[in-house]
Structure 1
């Protein structure tokens, strides 16, 4: 249905696992990242009718897990279906890989409408001291900023990126990056940390969490209180892996035929295609216009929320426009060297 179903190559991973050559449109919405709150209120908030008793019957909310500490499915007013993260479907197709080596660091990232605030150079130097020279993977927003890239290169790190979130090869590149490492580090509990931990890779959170513009002061600190396994160095890998598998729904994966049937991929029908190209863009446009005219959160730090020009807001809003799906990558690819990839991001 909506373009977010195809972010990070998730629909491509589901398609490959299902035995299809390319992704298809889905009858509903797929959770597109790990979240510290209910995905119903974050990833799916712009489509509040889906999953309600009176909502469209042929559309569903596909979440990773009903065992995440972030939310209680029974307490919500919308129904969801746990299918496991697309990450695990990709891992099933890619097969086992030999043990990795070295450290990969994935700093917390901003987005076009919410930049990351803090001293990147200080964070880069601190990690060089605790982890040694490492491979640092920047999100495409920071990878475009020469000052951020130079901060990590200057501290002795190698810098790579994975492409934009609309790149169907994104998840495959992340798979190559994480499974090639023996240790994964971030300064904020996030999707790649739980991905790595779910495979038994040593994954932890350390360093200055920095801050996103407009973020509430307690947002980052609450993560450590709810998921201490990722912050306490005394916790064993097995315990951390068990938590990550629950968060990502590793035990909720469906068999290929069952997944095809659930997603409506066992037959051809026009409804999801029409939703993708017509219905969802109209709903998204209405939401973006309403959000453009809204006020910042009452408890956001004063003067901290970014003020976007119309051009900046419009560019961010158009990222949600639908686009042709193309074919699913046949195998995971390698991360992109930032110097070579910067012009295409």
Structure 2
């Protein structure tokens, strides 16, 4: 229904788990990242008036940040619009473990600074964070997001401090999640300066996790930045000496270990038991049109949706139109860990 269904190699991981020979369109929406509030508001709001024939597949039924039975997660008739299925990372991790394909923990520390997007910029002291990591961990591998790699000053802040910069690649690359699995599986410790999807992956994969460093501001409006809310809801991740077993328990819950489905169940929920002309049409035509209408203010989004983008004009979206438009479905890739891209010179992929 939307390109977000295929971000980060998620559809490839699920297709492998379901025994598919190719990736297909999904008649609905698949959560593409961990969220503090309901994915219905954080990720699905541009399609909020679609009926029950378009599923909303979220990761967990037990997040501290939102309840599945919340009003924002229900249709006007009171029926639930969301189904919890577990994060794609969990399925990839399980497949890699079953195939004895998880790398050994030979990497010291992997650092993932808070990153921005094409719409929401992050402001913060990368130089100061790089120096603090060097003092506390020594030279480390630093995974920079594709958006941050477009800023040479961010790349240089880390390399000048003696760290190696690596990347999982562009978010439409089907090997993205495999590269993240490599990092989370090979690192002895994973560090960030804020609670994040990657830290949950690391904790679930059994790595030591720690949060420290300058807290960057996400977006232009400090009031909509979820950083403080994260500290309030998940204080265990912000302790000076976190309990790894407790963090794994929380990560499993937030990622939806309890909601994982069998291959047949998941295949049915994804609409992959048969080909769908409707899903094809939604992906290439009606979905992009509805998103454009929501961005331009021609269709109303639910209250509280995309709060981090509050105050942005449509011009911000139109500056990067190709980032929001559909592209051919990604190729199916093996369910294995993939060594990340190692950047040696300019920092550009």
* Partner residue of 1:126 out of 132, 157, 166: 132
Root mean square deviation of aligned Cα:
2.5
Alignment correspondent of 1:326: 330
Q: Quick one: which of 180, 201, 209 aligns to 1:203?
A: 209
Q: Match for residue 15 of structure 1?
A: 15
Q: Aligned residue for 1:230?
A: 237
User: Please, which runs of 5 or more residues in structure 1 have no aligned partner?
Assistant: none
Q: CA deviation digits over 1:122-173, x for unaligned, max 9?
A: 1111111122211000000111211111100111110011111111111111
5 Å-filtered alignment, 1:33-182, equals 33-50=33-50, 55=51, 57-77=52-72, 78=74, 79=80, 80-95=82-97, 96=100, 97=102, 99-101=104-106, 102-182=108-188
Using the size of structure 1 for normalisation, the TM-score is 0.89
Q: Tell me whether 1:252 sits opposite 2:242 in the alignment.
A: no
Q: Using CA pairs below 8 Å that are at least 6 residues apart, which structure has the higher relative contact order?
A: 2
* Matched residue count: 331
Q: CA deviation at 1:341?
A: 8.4
Match of 1:314 in 2: 318
Say which SS state the counterpart of residue 12 (structure 1) adopts. helix
Cα–Cα, structure 1 residues 341 and 326, in superposed 2: closer, same or farther, change >3 Å? farther
Q: Is the 8 A contact 1:213 1:306 kept in 2?
A: no
Give CA deviations for 1:97-139 in whole Å, capped at 9, x if unaligned. 3541311000000112221112211111111112221100000
In the aligned structure 2, how far is the partner of 1:122 from the partner of 1:155?
A: 10
**What is the aligned partner in structure 2 of residue 267 from structure 1?**
274
Contact 1:31-1:39 at 8 Å conserved across structures: yes
Is contact 1:178-1:196 (8 Å) kept? yes
Aligned to 1:284: 291
* Pair 308,132 (structure 1): closer, same or farther in 2 beyond 3 Å: farther
| C-alpha contact 1:194 1:248 (8 A) present in aligned 2 | yes
Moved over 4 A (4+): 304-310, 340-344
Q: Do the aligned partners of 2:296 and 2:314 also contact (CA within 8 Å) in 1?
A: no
Distance 1:21 1:43 in 2: 28
Task: Structure 2: state its 5+ residue gaps.
Answer: 75-79
Check the 8 A contact 2:123/2:218 in 1, yes or no: yes
- Say if 1:129 and 1:139 are closer, same or farther in 2 by CA, change over 3 A: same
Q: Label 1:61 to 1:135 Cα distance change in 2 as closer, same or farther (>3 A).
A: same
Partner Cα distance (2:283, 2:159) in 1: 41
Q: Give me the whole-angstrom Cα distance separating, in 2, the residues matched to 1:30 and 1:259.
A: 12
Aligned equivalents of 1:103, 1:21: Cα separation in 2: 36
> Within 2, Cα distance between the matches of 1:279 and 1:210?
37
Relative distance call for 1:16 and 1:341 in structure 2 (3 A) is: farther
State how far apart, in whole Å, the 2-side matches of 1:237 and 1:161 are. 25
